[in-house]
Structure 1
Amino acid sequence: MNNKNQINSWKRMSFKGNKVWAQTDINEELLIEKGMVLIKYNLKQDYEYRVKPESLNPEDQAVPSKKKSAALTPATHNALKKQAIETNLPDNCIKIYTDGASSGNPGPSGIGILLIYGENKKEISKYIGMATNNIAELTAIKVALEELKRNDLPVRVFSDSSYSIGLLTKNWKPKKNETLVFDIKTLMGQFRDLSFIKVKGHSGIKENEVADFLATSAIKKGLV
């Protein structure tokens, strides 16, 4: 090819799925030197690459780049977490968020409960005296179930206590607190549709944070 035809012009092509600029001659044909074509990913870049012409394809064969997702705000992230844990809840469901807190283990303890039914909400914050954190978690569940006036509606208990959920739903054998666990299981048997949902504590789920606040507030009030 004559040098007079070798001018610095470029056309859009595809290389390994990526859009590139390939150097061409005056006729917009690939400019091949020593069996290679000069390409750039960006015309403003200083560095260049030489590739075999058969490795270049038309521009429309490039793989479209995926758009980056916009960063989630903390509020949006928390809303998505709440939406995920409340997916497929039955209609007319009573939601209960429970938490137990202990200042020391054992130590002064409190329970926090948030009951939600439709637009109605009820909060319970109660000091239970000296106890372990596990006892406080279980007691919160027991008090919440005792508070319900109807057992014909579906009930979902949200708790961040793996210990409590394991004892009450996975047939773990309690090494301590046997009477408390037995009492709760007896209560559970009175409901037509009751199940537990594990949530992560202190992860921005508003209702769980409310239950935690009610539990820790109960300790402070009890020590006054």
Structure 2
Amino acid sequence: MRAPFPVGVVPCQGAPVPWVRARLRGQLIYARASETGALQAENGRVEIRYKPNDGRRYEAREGNLEVVPGPPLPDDTCGPADAVRKPEKGAASGEAAVSGASAVGASPAAGTRSRAASGRAAAGPAPIPEGAIVAYADGACSGNPGPAGLGVTMKDGARTIELSEYLGVGTNNIAELTAILRVLQEIQDATRGVVIFTDSQYSIGVLQKGWKAKANVELVAELRNALKARKNTQIRYVPGHAGHAGNERADALAREAVRARKSRRTEQPPTA
């Protein structure tokens, strides 16, 4: 899911201090703040987030941030995130290149993880199983809680299915989880190979890494049961804001649902 959003985006996690909504060169983001709502800067830079569950945090110059009026948001309303390794000089990277933000300098441990990730990237992503349905699922939420929606785009051979569903008032995590559930509900044949891409580390955590669900317990249980009934379903992480066409499309469908307060399903080519 990607900012900007018509009204707001959900908050994010880091040190135990609040967040405020702010604009960075016109883009709505979340910024670290004190309990009074003032920006919390170190050496003139403020920690910011573009998305609650994409596992990435950045820094922006305090002077480039415009705080949006409103009370500070609690820190514990979103999942964990790791620092992003600062790109090499001259290398443009994601939102940092677009919005003037920079990646947070990684610690030695984070640098080790980054080098390991680079090694995996060099080997290339895992191949898609032959004949598998490929789906991208994303959620959007304007506030937390607030108007929520999901987006799904699925490719099954020559057939493409897209969902843009308004969920009413909910949270970002509910929208992310429900998007994955909708993919499973669309595929009646439980023996089919399915690869679902999500940019929600929260969803990956509670569904595949054994994280304990402190909220959304029934929804998580429903998803876990649905996944157990399928032997050939994979959920894979895809970074948000990284130009992945399927993820960008699912994000757009989710934001469309929130903006229009409507749901739609399309299938191409149409079923006879």
The question of a shared fold, defined as TM-score above 0.5 by the shorter chain, is answered with yes
Match of 1:207 among 236, 241, 246: 246
Match of 1:104, SS? coil
Match of 2:195, SS? strand
Give, in whole Å, the separation in 1 of the partners of 2:189 and 2:202. 27
Match of 2:228 among 182, 189, 197: 189
Match of 1:191, SS? coil
Give, in whole Å, the separation in 2 of the partners of 1:175 and 1:122. 32
Query: Structure 2 matches for 1:159-198, cutoff 5 A?
Result: 159-198=198-237
Name stretches of at least 5 consecutive residues in structure 2 with no aligned partner: 1-90, 95-120, 263-272
RMSD: 2.1
Q: TM-score, normalised by structure 2?
A: 0.50
Match of 2:150, SS? strand
Structure exhibiting the larger radius of gyration computed from Cα positions: 1
Percent identity over the alignment? 41
Name stretches of at least 5 consecutive residues in structure 1 with no aligned partner: 1-70, 75-80
Letter in 1 for 2:155: I
Q: TM-score, normalised by structure 1?
A: 0.61
- How far has the Cα of 1:202 moved from its partner? 1.5
Letter in 2 for 1:174: A
Match of 1:109, SS? strand
- How far has the Cα of 1:192 moved from its partner? 2.1
Is 2:149 the counterpart of 1:129? no
Give, in whole Å, the separation in 2 of the partners of 1:151 and 1:91. 16
Is 2:222 the counterpart of 1:222? no
Give, in whole Å, the separation in 2 of the partners of 1:99 and 1:91. 24
Match of 1:116, SS? strand
Give, in whole Å, the separation in 2 of the partners of 1:97 and 1:130. 22
Letter in 2 for 1:213: A
Match of 2:261, SS? helix
- How far has the Cα of 1:84 moved from its partner? 4.2
Query: Structure 2 matches for 1:56-71, cutoff 5 A?
Result: none
Match of 2:196 among 147, 151, 157: 157
